[in-house]
Amino acid sequence: GVWREEFNRKRVELEARLSGQPPDQQSINKDFSTLQNGDFYLTRHSNLCETHVVFHLISDEALDNGNVNSRHPVIIGIRNLLKTACMNDITTLTIPLLLSHKMTERMTVAWCMKRAELMFKCIKGFMMEMAGWGGTEVKTLQFLLPADIHQDVFMKLTSLLSSIFRVSTPIRGH
């Protein structure tokens, strides 16, 4: 939607500034027309604390419905994003576990558990694939939850995480 167009415009403007050339409106529109659900692009940052690269994953639909499965374009996009990180020596990733930065009314405890289980299992499978990709393995994987998530849901999610992944450091809340 509109936010995708804005992100694309900003990315092209940033690339133009870095190259010293003025942004080309035609290339902005061309790039925008080729992005699909599950595609992503990168932006590099020097002014964000401990963040050097941001992956922007594209989705035109609300992901708080129950229609996301392991073959959904956004999940496949996360796989491709992990592969890109692996092939480019990016060793620390933070992923929004529920594919959302804020809670909505649709996000019941059962919904959160189902989404988290899908994400954990898919990402674990993708990470197991990494061994055959070459490059650097992701050494630190952080899952981000909305700030307003209920403490009981957080505790259930930490338990689920521990049952699917081997956890080397304590799980911290807020």
What is the three-state SS of 16-28? HHHHCCCCCHHHH
DSSP state of 79: H
Query: Is the pLDDT at 152 greater than 70, yes or no?
Result: yes
Residue 172, number of CB atoms within 10 A of its CB: 6
pLDDT, tens digit (0-9, with 9 covering 90-100), for 6-21: 666 666 666 665 565 5
CA 7 to chain centroid, in Å, comes to: 15
CA distance to 2, 88, 101, per residue, from 138 (Å): 32, 10, 23
Residue 7, number of CB atoms within 10 A of its CB: 16
Whole-number pLDDT of residue 69: 92
Query: Is the pLDDT at 90 greater than 80, yes or no?
Result: yes
CA distance 12 to 29: 10
Higher pLDDT, 44 or 164: 164
CA distance to 8, 21, 23, 36, per residue, from 28 (Å): 7, 14, 8, 15
- Mean of all residue pLDDT scores within the chain: 82
DSSP state of 97: T
* 0.85 exceeded by pTM: no
Higher pLDDT, 139 or 131: 139
